[in-house]
Structure 1
Amino acid sequence: MSTVVAIVVFVIAYLLIATERIPKMTAALAGAGVVLGVGVVGADEAFYSHDTGVDWNVIFLLLGMMIIVGILRRTGVFEYIAIWAAKRAKGSPLRVLILLVLITAIASAFLDNVTTVLLIAPVTLLVCDRLGISPAPFLIAEVFASNIGGTATLIGDPPNIIIGSRAGLTFNDFLVHLAPIVVIEVVVFCFVLRWLFRGSFAADPERIAEVMALNERETIRDTRLLVKCGIVLGAVFAGFVGHSVFHLEPSVVALLGAGVLVLVSQARPRDYLVSVEWETLLFFAGLFIMIGALVHTGVIADLARLAADATGGNALVAVLLILGVSAVVSGIIDNIPYVATMAPLVADLVARIPDPGHAQALWWSLALGADFGGNLTAVGASANVVMLGIARREGYPISFWEFTRKGAVVTAITVLLAAPYLWLRYFVLG
């Protein structure tokens, strides 16, 4: 009975989120309330369990970085970068988008994709305001780029951290095996931007001329605070990259950075808390509890086991099936709990395959499928939810289906490119 309740609640909440009949935060919290209220999961499973509870690492990573961004915003650096980007692109909206997409993809590989979208969104909103165009297509494209670029490294996308921990894979392993296909994916994505967002690149020549006449250096309002922010951000980024050495979770690093920056900047709470997306954080909490109910009742494990059993012991079939299933399922639910559930099953499959190269390809197919599948829908990845929350708060709401129509195309393209890469690299070239 608990299994049925968990499935029904998730499906209803998902439909409400997709149709936007009620605010998605309300739908997620209501669904979480039902599974808690009827006893599908208890307080221990919802709030304290690593496997079925709220992922507090994600929640506090977001909170810490939102506070840092709130203080950084006071320096004027986002206006500086926005004007700099627009001038380097000669005011062309398409060239601006390509430039911001490349910056987002590269930054997401060495930070994490959630942090990157928190930093790039203010820049995007400012440059689009200067050019007099809607930022919605830019924000959508950037979150796609963040999920693609974040695939390249161990720390770029949260599912990679789970895979790395389970499979004993290092930062360099991810860089060597996944960075080549990610570079190809980013280049192809840049080429399809004009078609994917056609009709979104018309700008007023007068607005372009005004931007070209601006001096970006005049936008810096507080140089001393900018220096302090730069030092703290540098330390935070170093903590992200070296988290396996320092044994500090990214969430702890972000909170420490936020605390230090609040202290040295002497900022008042109202100055930085205004940048915290409370609705997004609460939506994540509700979503984690509902998905945790599916994990707790064995629904996700059963689905993953069915996919694993369907391979019939063939390594290539297993790789391609894991890639496809991961892309679809990760797009429907968040890719973090999916990978957490799938990782033990992949480990079991890896142990049954005698060829080490073929066996390791299973891990890379899981990473590529889950990370690229995060672009499928508005709730497929944490970065998606964060970016859409920012867009809504700034007065540019992006609907679930507007995002998903574009996301389905991007997911299809990236997965179709990943499949031959896995085949050629691990089964043809060895």
Structure 2
Amino acid sequence: MLIGIAITLFLFSYFFIIIEKIPRAVIAVFGASLLIIFGVLTQEKAIHHIDWNTLGLLVGMMIIVDLTRRSGIFTFLAIWISKKVKGDPLLLMLSLSLLTAFLSALLDNVTTVLLIVPVALSIADQLEVDPTPFLFSQILMSNIGGTATLIGDPPNIIIAGQTQLSFMDFIINLAPVIIIIIIVALYIFYLLYRHKLVTKDELKTKLMVQNEWDHIKDFALLKKSLSVLSLVILGFSLHSILHLETATIALSGAMLLMIWTHEEPEDIFLAIEWPTLFFFAGLFVLVGGLIEVGVLDRLAVWSMSLTQGDPLIMAMLILFISALLSSFLDNIPFVATMIPLIQKLALLSQFTAAQTQPLWWALALGACLGGNGTLVGASANLIVAGIAEKNGIKIRYTQFLKVGFPIMILSTVISAIYLLIRYY
């Protein structure tokens, strides 16, 4: 009975998220509320399923990015980058895509899109081109680049915490295939948008003659913002050594910057993307309902039983199931569910550590790259959609699906070939 209610409410909510007739934050929270009303979850369990670290990280970074934006640095960067590529919008989109992938590996993909998307929107506005290609490429490359390192994407952090894999283990085993996928994705972006990203010569000229330094409105604020942002980024890279969660680091940095700049809290808190945060909270609870009634457990165990103890089949199944399910479910609770199942299957199959390790890379690749499949597949996707909506740009679910899902499938196939050649 409870299984049927949980599945029905999840599908009901997902249907309305897709058709976009009602704001997705409202639908997600309403669906989560119904789970509690019908007894699938208690309120305490629902709260437990919300990833407060993710929400705290988002709030902290939104505050820091908004205060940094007020200095004029994003407009400065937009003009500076534009002048480097002679104002060509296609080259700008490809350059920002590559930068996003690189920063997502060094920082994390959520922080990266919060920093880069305002730059992309400023460029698109000044060149009077459709911002959608910029936004789509930011989403896709943030998830691809974030897959390469331990700190780049939340699923990797969870896997590392449960398996004792090191920072270098992730780079050595995942970075090679991610570099290949980045090159392929850049070529696809070129083919998709080479005729769409065209602007007038006078707009290029107008951009080229601007002095980027004129757009820095407050040098004192800029210095303070960049100082705090540098500390926060350092904290992210050392969070496992400091034994601090990323939310604690981001929120501490945000409060420090607010104290330092003497900004009014009421004004700053308006910059927070509250609909995005409520959508995340509702989605976490909806997936939590499926976890509580055992839907994900049953699906995973049934899928793994098909492998009959063969490590190659198991790795391929983990990769493709993770990619497909992570496109439609949030990949954080999915990975948290898969880890103990993989550990148990490896133990029952008497796998050595060398045989088990490729299973973790399959899970990481599938869960992280799978986030590109749909607009709700990963945190970075929803953050970009929220920023876009605040700027009057509507990213539709089906619109993103047509671009994201094929690229997700292709990157998963490339990952499968890589795993096959390298480990089997």
- 1:358-377 equivalent positions in 2, closer than 5 A: 358-377=355-374
Deviation at 1:226, TM superposition (A): 1.0
* 1:346-401 deviation digits (Å, cap 9, x = unpaired): 11233335343331000000000000000000100011111111111111101000
What one-letter code is carried by the residue in structure 1 that aligns with 2:388? A
Deviation at 1:270, TM superposition (A): 4.3
What one-letter code is carried by the residue in structure 2 that aligns with 1:421? Y
Secondary structure at the aligned position of 1:183 is classed as helix
What one-letter code is carried by the residue in structure 1 that aligns with 2:238? G
Give the Cα–Cα distance (whole angstroms) in 2 for the partners of residues 422 and 265 of structure 1. 50
- 1:59-70 equivalent positions in 2, closer than 5 A: 59-70=55-66
Secondary structure at the aligned position of 2:70 is classed as helix
Aligned to 1:288: 284
Deviation at 1:57, TM superposition (A): 0.6
1:280, 1:389 within 8 Å by CA — same for their partners in 2? yes
Give the Cα–Cα distance (whole angstroms) in 2 for the partners of residues 189 and 113 of structure 1. 17
2:63, 2:272 within 8 Å by CA — same for their partners in 1? yes
2:326, 2:377 within 8 Å by CA — same for their partners in 1? yes
Give the Cα–Cα distance (whole angstroms) in 2 for the partners of residues 311 and 124 of structure 1. 45
Deviation at 1:152, TM superposition (A): 0.6
Give the Cα–Cα distance (whole angstroms) in 1 for the partners of residues 192 and 45 of structure 2. 42
Give the Cα–Cα distance (whole angstroms) in 2 for the partners of residues 397 and 198 of structure 1. 22
Aligned to 2:377: 380
Deviation at 1:410, TM superposition (A): 1.0
2:148, 2:174 within 8 Å by CA — same for their partners in 1? yes
Give the Cα–Cα distance (whole angstroms) in 2 for the partners of residues 271 and 141 of structure 1. 31
Aligned to 2:152: 156
* 1:204-238 deviation digits (Å, cap 9, x = unpaired): 11111101111111111111111111111111011
Segments of 4+ moved more than 6 angstroms: none
Aligned to 1:184: 180
Secondary structure at the aligned position of 1:152 is classed as coil
Aligned to 2:29: 29
Aligned to 1:389: 386
Deviation at 1:316, TM superposition (A): 0.6
Give the Cα–Cα distance (whole angstroms) in 1 for the partners of residues 415 and 181 of structure 2. 8
What one-letter code is carried by the residue in structure 2 that aligns with 1:21? K
Aligned to 1:18: 18
Matched-pair identity in %: 44
Aligned to 1:45: 45
Deviation at 1:198, TM superposition (A): 5.0
Give the Cα–Cα distance (whole angstroms) in 1 for the partners of residues 308 and 88 of structure 2. 52
Consecutive unaligned residues of structure 2, counting only runs of 5 or more, are none
Match of 1:300 among 296, 308, 316: 296
TM-score (norm 1): 0.97
Deviation at 1:424, TM superposition (A): 0.9
Give the Cα–Cα distance (whole angstroms) in 2 for the partners of residues 89 and 298 of structure 1. 53
Secondary structure at the aligned position of 1:237 is classed as helix
| Count of aligned positions | 423
1:376, 1:404 within 8 Å by CA — same for their partners in 2? yes
Give the Cα–Cα distance (whole angstroms) in 2 for the partners of residues 173 and 353 of structure 1. 22
2:55, 2:277 within 8 Å by CA — same for their partners in 1? yes
Deviation at 1:118, TM superposition (A): 0.7
TM-score (norm 2): 0.98
Give the Cα–Cα distance (whole angstroms) in 2 for the partners of residues 175 and 276 of structure 1. 33
Match of 1:356 among 353, 356, 378: 353
Give the Cα–Cα distance (whole angstroms) in 1 for the partners of residues 249 and 192 of structure 2. 37
Give the Cα–Cα distance (whole angstroms) in 1 for the partners of residues 98 and 355 of structure 2. 32
Deviation at 1:240, TM superposition (A): 0.6
Aligned to 2:334: 338
Match of 1:242 among 238, 242, 252: 238
Match of 2:252 among 248, 253, 256: 256
Give the Cα–Cα distance (whole angstroms) in 2 for the partners of residues 200 and 143 of structure 1. 19
